[in-house]
Amino acid sequence: MDGATGFAVSALVNIMISLICIAISWWVLLNVRLDLFLRDPRHVQAKALQVLLAIVLGHGLATFIIDYSGWSRTISLFFG
């Protein structure tokens, strides 16, 4: 694989990891009782908050997974 193709595949994998982590965060947040903190939990603003929380948490999880993967590949160079 040449450099450009490798970057494209890496970008595609990172996008997929990010989307999967956001979906997992959304699934987890469905079980959190946000109605205890909101005046009207069925309002559009409450749903927007839930979407934003899923994006923020999913991005954090995806960043950790992508960084960990990179660190794992880099540390193998230390022993190789």
The answer to whether residue 4 scores a pLDDT higher than 70 is yes
More confident residue, 78 or 65: 65
The domain total for the chain is 1
**Do 34 and 41 contact (CB within 8 A), yes or no?**
yes
Q: Which domain holds residue 37?
A: 3-79
Describe the crossing of helices 3-29 and 44-79 by its angle, rounded to 10 degrees: 130
pTM of the predicted model as reported, rounded to 2 decimal places: 0.85
- Report CA-CA distances (Å) from 75 to 3, 7, 51, 78, 80: 21, 20, 36, 5, 9
Over residues 9-51, the pLDDT tens digits come to 999 999 999 999 999 999 999 998 888 888 887 889 989 999 9
Q: What three-state secondary structure class fits 74? A: helix
pLDDT by residue (tens digit) across 53-62?
999 999 999 9
pLDDT at 79: 82
